[in-house]
Amino acid sequence: MVVYAGQGDAHRSLALLWGAAPEPRTGRSGPKPGLSVDAIVSAGIAVADDEGMAALSMRAVGERLGRTAMALYTYVPGKAELLDLMHDRALAGLPAAPPPSDDWRAAVTAWAGALYDRYLRHPWMLQVSQARPVLGPAELTAMEALLGALGPAGLAPGPLRGAVSALWQFVRGTAAATAESRAAAAETGVTDEDWWTARSARLAELAPDFPSRFPLLTALQSGADGPPQDREQETFRTGLAVLLDGVAAAAPAAGDAPVPATRPGRAAGTGEGADTP
Amino acid sequence: MVVYAGQGDAHRSLALLWGAAPEPRTGRSGPKPGLSVDAIVSAGIAVADDEGMAALSMRAVGERLGRTAMALYTYVPGKAELLDLMHDRALAGLPAAPPPSDDWRAAVTAWAGALYDRYLRHPWMLQVSQARPVLGPAELTAMEALLGALGPAGLAPGPLRGAVSALWQFVRGTAAATAESRAAAAETGVTDEDWWTARSARLAELAPDFPSRFPLLTALQSGADGPPQDREQETFRTGLAVLLDGVAAAAPAAGDAPVPATRPGRAAGTGEGADTP
DNA sequence: CGAGGATACTTTACGTCATAAGGAGTTGTG
DNA sequence: CACAACTCCTTATGACGTAAAGTATCCTCG
């Protein structure tokens, strides 16, 4: 529920995100730290995973570590920063960019699938306000991986930025939709499908003129065939395909695009020597 | 900051969203209502517009109407539902779908620009958790408009769903990025550009190995030429072009679409005459 | 070794939040 | 005119983030 305290100094997060100097422990008095930023971030993720974003309070995180809420403030400036850290950490460890290959479509598809899965494993991430590019190392690594996968397509910098943004947002958005329908279903103890039909039934009841007011939506919806999971997967798959077609079309000399390239001029180099760290 | 209380009965919102039967006022005792759902929603939007999402409390909304917080509960079940109503109302009045035309690219571009502008006029919308398709009338109308604009492209239902999702998420995501950089700049009383350079300077300081760790990102960033507004606009424009190229590519060549689709002969997607926001 | 200061953590407290419960005033219908 | 329905208020509850101040622990320096 709570997601982001607007003015939380992004600067304070930055230092922590990038592994605030581990401080040579020599020459420091006082009791040894019993906690660590890492442990706190892990506990926070555990709380959010287990009990949902609404249950993520400083008290809850502290409790999970056998401490009070205030103990956390020794390590972390506040809740907003903790959220930043959690979000970035939850993105860590995604597969690195594969070596550049002709089949950039497969590479980008794999990247998108991994990110999608990650979001669904930590649905609370989707409730962290995205009005906030935190620029943590894991997020940037994921973006670098996308750039690496996308590289062989040979986009110019402008379209490349656009494509990266479009891809990321698409994955996040579709993951959010899936997560929401799962959550709603789990909450009401009902299967996805039942929930959807109940929902549309209620809608039809409240807006009897629905089909005439929204003919295209009605047509689109009635075109659905399988259970909602399948529909979500299909949306993900086909939406991604549309995006990739766009990338292929925007690329000057794309490999497997069905579109004949008319402009041979290769624009400013987008580092094709992606050796992927 | 607060964005969405997870379990708020979406059902309760639905009735309100769809204009809960205006109740024939005859045969009702008690004092006449001094407020209305509409007035409350307007006040909520005014508060959020003027003072930001963090300042949106039931007290603040009530105060703006000369009432206490509790007075609102006569009209609205709770804050989550009020947020739903605000969000949908803020989407109302977007331009309707134009008559089907050959130039579906222009139509979709206009649609995207209008939605983008709307988000930027009410930045708090971007902090409402999107993990929640509220299915209000305005949102559905906007989606119907997109479907109308997209129609002449002649997509099959699957790709159409994917494209709709991709387009919507893209607009929302890029709007969020723009809103965030504006907010950050306004907060610190600094121009967009200064804020960005300060940010990158700080990043470079914290992660001196940045260029070697993120070569592609570094290359992409250094390829930027203008002030950030221009970069944002360019991302929007080129990203949208990529998406539209994808739509064109996913459409059946030119055969059974109601209108012969424009062949995507363009190479770099930047050529499109997007008039943008 | 013992004092002093730094550090980890706790207790307590404050202000704010959403909202439950109950009461007061207002208005229509019997 | 009584009563019921209704709006709106006051008050109260429990949770939240976190400021302030206290306590216990440990290192360093005299």
3-state secondary structure chain A: CECCCCCCCHHHHHHHHCCCCCCCCCCCCCCCCCCCHHHHHHHHHHHHHHHCHHHCCHHHHHHHCCCCHHHHHHCCCCHHHHHHHHHHHHCCCCCCCCCCCCCHHHHHHHHHHHHHHHHHHCHHHHHCCCCCCCCCHHHHHHHHHHHHHHHHHCCCHHHHHHHHHHHHHHHHHHHHHHHHHHHHHHHHCCCHHHHHHHHHHHHHHHCCCHHHHCHHHHHHHHCCCCCHHHHHHHHHHHHHHHHHHHHHHHCCCCCCCCCCCCCCCCCCCCCCCCCCC
Is residue A152 within 8 Å of residue A272, measured between CB atoms? Answer: yes
Tell me which residue in B3, B247, B248 faces A129 most closely, judged by beta carbons.
B3
- Quick check: B30 CB within 7 A of strand C? yes
Is residue B111 within 8 Å of residue B164, measured between CB atoms? Answer: no
* pLDDT the model gives residue A101: 86
- Quick check: A264 CB within 7 A of strand D? no
Interval B6-12 mean pLDDT: 55
- Quick check: B74 CB within 7 A of strand C? no
- pLDDT (tens digit, 0 to 9) for every residue of chain A, 277 residues total? 333 333 345 677 888 898 866 666 666 788 999 999 999 999 999 999 999 999 999 999 999 999 999 999 999 999 999 999 999 999 999 998 888 888 999 999 999 999 999 999 999 999 998 766 778 999 999 999 999 999 999 999 999 999 999 999 999 999 998 998 888 777 777 777 777 788 888 888 889 999 999 999 999 988 766 677 788 899 999 999 999 999 999 987 544 444 443 333 333 333 333 333 3
CB spacing of B244 vs A239 below 8 angstroms: no
Closest approach of A199 to chain B, Cα-based (Å):
8
- Quick check: B99 CB within 7 A of strand D? no
Nearest to A251 by CA among A167, A165, A163, A171: A163
Taking the CB of residue B124, how many other CB atoms lie within 10 A of it?
Answer: 26
Is residue B94 within 8 Å of residue B143, measured between CB atoms? Answer: no
Nearest nt by C1' to A72 Cα? C9
Written as six digits, the tokens of A181 are: 């329908």
* pLDDT the model gives residue B253: 58
Instruction: Name the amino acid, one letter, at A263.
Output: R
**Residues paired with A2 in a beta bridge:** B2
CB spacing of B242 vs A250 below 8 angstroms: yes
Written as six digits, the tokens of A115 are: 């990110």
Is residue A236 within 8 Å of residue A174, measured between CB atoms? Answer: yes
Query: pTM for the whole thing?
Result: 0.87
Q: What backbone phi and psi angles, to 5 degrees, belong to A266?
A: -85, 125
Interval B85-94 mean pLDDT: 97
* pLDDT the model gives residue A251: 84
Q: How far is the CA of A28 from the C1' of C3 (A)?
A: 17
* pLDDT the model gives residue B229: 74
Rg (chain A; Cα; Å)? 23
Residue B20 binned pLDDT confidence (cut-offs 50, 70, 90): low
- Quick check: B3 CB within 7 A of strand C? no
Written as six digits, the tokens of B265 are: 């002969």
Q: Determine which of A242, A247, A262 to mutate to test the interface with B (most B C-beta atoms within 10 Å).
A: A242
Q: How many CB pairs under 8 A join A and B?
A: 298
* pLDDT the model gives residue A93: 96
CA distance A160 to B270: 11
Closest approach of A35 to chain B, Cα-based (Å):
23
Nucleotides on chain D within 7 angstroms of protein Cβ:
4-11, 15-21, 24-28
- Quick check: B28 CB within 7 A of strand D? yes
Closest CA to D7 C1' — which residue? B31
Residue B115 has pLDDT above 70, yes or no: yes
Closest approach of A229 to chain B, Cα-based (Å):
14
* pLDDT the model gives residue B187: 72
- Quick check: B5 CB within 7 A of strand D? no
Is residue B48 within 8 Å of residue B122, measured between CB atoms? Answer: yes
Q: Which residue has the tokens 């997967």?
A: A233
Closest approach of B128 to chain A, Cα-based (Å):
8
For A235, the closest chain B residue by CA position comes to B162
**Residues paired with B2 in a beta bridge:** A2
* pLDDT the model gives residue A20: 65
CB spacing of A262 vs B264 below 8 angstroms: no
Tell me which residue in A162, A174, A270 faces B165 most closely, judged by beta carbons.
A174
Tell me which residue in A144, A216, A246 faces B245 most closely, judged by beta carbons.
A246
Q: Which residue has the tokens 């139509």?
A: B107
CB spacing of A147 vs B216 below 8 angstroms: yes
